Structures are given as structure tokens and as C-alpha cells.
């Protein structure tokens, strides 16, 4: 989607502090971190929210969680643990309408 911030980051049109990239996903540091480690994982494919996913997105969603696991382990070394968050629509606190997973870690997180 041409006016989507995360599509522009995925296309390299807007810079990011990259952590990981493959053919289908990109991970980069959140610009306003809410924990010592705060990384966003996005698919390069535009899907607005988890609520908009259909059965056709099942493989993408499964792969995305697998990449989250890999990035938290191999790239971020969050051995003590981490939190995975997906905000869904305005009521869930979503601000960027391109599905993304937050990885938060680096300290004991409050509830
Ligand atoms: P959400 O509230 O789940 O939509 O999360 C969007 C996240 O994107 C927020 O935590 C923002 O701090 C982050 N963010 C917004 N713009 C950028 C950017 N240009 N680079 C990195 N992170 C960003
Ligand atoms: Zn997008």
C-alpha cells in the first residue's frame, strides 16, 4: 500500500535500524522503545491487522511467529525470556495499520 509507513520501510524507502531480513519478513528496532529491547517484526506483504487475516494468511502468520522465535533467540539473545505483542485496531492500541509483532525484553517486564 503506497501510503503505508511499514510498506515503505519494507521497500527501503524509509530507513530503519534493521535487526533481521529475509524474503518475506523484516525486523527493526522500534523508534520509541518501551523496554531495553523493543523490536518490530513485519511481513513485507501488506495486511492491515490481525483481525483482517483470513484462512489464506494462516501460513504467513505461522511463519511470522517462527521468525519471531528465531529473532528473539539468534539475533537478540533474549535467553531470559521476552514478551510478544500484537495490537489489533484502535481499541487494542494499534497505531500503524500494517500487521506487526512487538518483541519486548531485556528486563523483567511488569504485567
Ligand atoms: P502499534 O501501536 O502496535 O501500531 O505499534 C507501532 C509501533 O511503531 C510503535 O511502537 C512506534 O513507536 C513504532 N514506530 C512508528 N514509526 C516508526 C519508525 N519509523 N521506525 C520504527 N518504529 C516506528
Ligand atoms: Zn503496509
Query: What pLDDT score does 1 carry?
Result: 62
Residue 30 CA, ligand 1 centroid: distance in Å: 6
What are the structural domains, with CATH classification, of the chain? 5-105 (3.30.428.10)
Q: pLDDT for 51-109, tens place per residue?
A: 999 999 999 999 999 999 999 999 999 999 999 999 999 999 999 999 999 999 998 99
Write down the pLDDT at residue 70.
98
pLDDT band of residue 111 (cuts 50, 70, 90) is confident
What's the CA gap between 51 and 103, in Å, rounded?
19
Residue 110's pLDDT band, with cuts at 50, 70 and 90, is confident
How buried is 30 (Cβ within 10 angstroms: 0-12 exposed, 13-18 middle, 19+ buried)?
middle
Active site annotation includes 100: yes
What residue ranges line ligand 1, CB within 6 angstroms?
5, 16, 28, 30-32, 40, 87, 93-96
Measured between alpha carbons, how far is 75 from 71 in angstroms, rounded to an integer? 5
How buried is residue 15: exposed, middle or buried, by Cβ count under 10 Å (0-12/13-18/19+)? exposed
Amino acid at each position: 500500500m503506497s501510503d503505508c509507513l511499514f510498506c515503505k520501510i519494507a521497500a527501503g524507502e524509509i530507513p530503519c535500524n534493521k535487526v533481521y531480513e529475509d524474503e518475506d519478513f523484516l525486523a527493526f528496532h522500534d523508534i520509541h522503545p518501551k523496554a531495553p529491547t523493543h523490536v518490530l517484526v513485519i511481513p513485507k506483504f501488506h495486511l492491515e491487522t490481525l483481525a483482517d487475516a483470513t484462512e489464506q494468511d494462516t501460513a504467513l502468520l505461522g511463519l511470522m511467529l517462527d521468525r519471531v522465535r528465531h529473532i528473539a533467540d539468534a539475533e537478540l539473545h533474549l535467553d531470559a525470556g521476552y514478551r510478544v505483542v500484537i495490537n489489533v485496531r484502535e481499541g487494542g492500541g494499534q497505531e500503524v495499520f500494517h500487521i506487526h509483532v512487538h518483541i519486548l525484553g531485556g528486563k523483567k517486564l511488569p504485567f
